Each structure stands twice: as structure tokens, then as C-alpha cells.
A and B are shown apart, each in its own frame.
Chain A
Amino acid sequence: AQKVTQAQTEISVVEKEDVTLDCVYETRDTTYYLFWYKQPPSGELVFLIRRNSFDEQNEISGRYSWNFQKSTSSFNFTITASQVVDSAVYFCALSEAFDYGQNFVFGPGTRLSVLP
């Protein structure tokens, strides 16, 4: 069965620092999809990115960037020049190809606190 590990339970940084959130996954499938979601203090879950297993290009969206490395089964998320509004819990998730809900696996989350 697939698994997602986010070894960092909590991270604190000072505003403007760069921070990387780690995500390591396990799957037997060759086709799979990786996701990041953000849960700010208000509680809603916000979709950030989806990446399929055939696309190892890094992606950058403003201050956010994602590094996907199949060789190490990792899909890490970096926030550059962090801001207080980035404070949230971040979840990494994995779906094997053509799967149903019970196989959409979330990691335990990393709580990021950005201090002013």
C-alpha cells in the first residue's frame, strides 16, 4: 500500500527566510500523482499543486517551488522569502493512477510557523 511521510512535524522560521518542507512517498505503481495542500489557521484545505510521476520538471509558482525526485521518492516544497501569511499546516498527498478515495493518501502534515 502507498504511504506518505512528512518527517517534519513543526517548523518555525523568521520572516524572509527560505524553508523546505519534506515529503517522501512509497508506491508500487509506476503511474501516480502527488499533491500539496495548505491548511491555514482558518481551517480550509487549499490545493497547491498536482504532479504526475512522468513529469520530473521542477515547478515554480511565485515564491513557491517544488522539487520532484523519483530517485529518492521525494516531492519537496520550498517557500522562498517566507511571509507570516505562509503560516499553515501543509499536507503532501499521493494517489495511484485511477484510484478511488480510500487510496488517496495524505501525509501527517507539517505545521509551519513564520514569525515576524
Chain B
Amino acid sequence: DSGVTQTPKHLITATGQRVTLRCSPRSGDLSVYWYQQSLDQGLQFLIQYYNGEERAKGNILERFSAQQFPDLHSELNLSSLELGDSALYFCASSRGGRTNYGYTFGSGTRLTVV
């Protein structure tokens, strides 16, 4: 157990729908990162939050949004889902706001859009 908790583990939904993925960081970690892993795109950085504030943004679609709450858990909202959004979504956390110590990853949420 890495200490980073992601729920749900699996999600199947229809095109056009909206889903929310949840992440609880490791105890003491202030940063949360979201990644998308699809078969043909590798690990794509989506967004980073540090202590409730957005810190960095990657190639996150406008249909996707995220936030980090005062208790430091984070949610990734995906709306108007398309078949191409099917992927493994990872959350990771780190103690500080910088990446030089690397991340601890959660076990991921596998999203299937049908």
C-alpha cells in the first residue's frame, strides 16, 4: 500500500456522461498530481495542486477539471466523456510542491467509456 488512495478502482460509463475520480494523498503530502495513461499516449501529466492551489497544468482538456480540498484530497472531474477518454487515471502525491523527490502513485482508476 503506497499510502495514496484512489477511488473508484474501476468505472464504466457511457459517452456524454460526467464522472468524478477521487484521490487521498499520502499522509503529510501537500501536492497532488493527476496523470492519464492511455495505450498510445504513455503517461500524460494533467494537473498539479499544492496545498489547495493549482501549481502546474499539463495537456488537460477543457472538459476536465480538478480541485484540491482543505483536507488535501483531490477530485478530477471528467465531463462530456468520449470513447478516447478511456484510460488509466493516476493520482500521485509528494511532500512539497517540487518534483525533485519524485512521487508516490496510487493504484489508479481504470475508466472505460462505452
Interface set of A (CB-CB < 8 Å, partner B): 33, 35, 37, 42-47, 50, 52, 91, 93, 95, 97-104, 106, 108-109
9 sample A-B contacts, Cβ–Cβ < 8 Å, listed by A number: A33-B101, A45-B92, A47-B102, A47-B105, A52-B100, A93-B102, A100-B56, A101-B55, A109-B43
Question: Quick one: CB contact mask for B14-57 with A, threshold 8 Å, 1 for yes?
Answer: 00000000000000000101000000001101011000000111
The residues of B that contact A109 with a CB separation of less than 8 Å are 42-43
**B-side binding surface: helix, strand, loop or mixed?**
strand
A106 CA to B105 CA, complexed, in Å: 14
Q: Is the CB of B110 within 8 A of A33?
A: no
Binding site for A on B (CB under 8 A): 2, 31, 33, 42-43, 45, 47-48, 55-58, 88, 90, 92, 97-108, 110
Please state if B108 and A44 are interface contacts (CB–CB under 8 Å). Answer: yes
Task: Check A95 against B99 for contact (C-beta < 8 Å).
Answer: yes
Chain A CB within 10 Å, residue with most, of B31, B58, B90, B100: B100
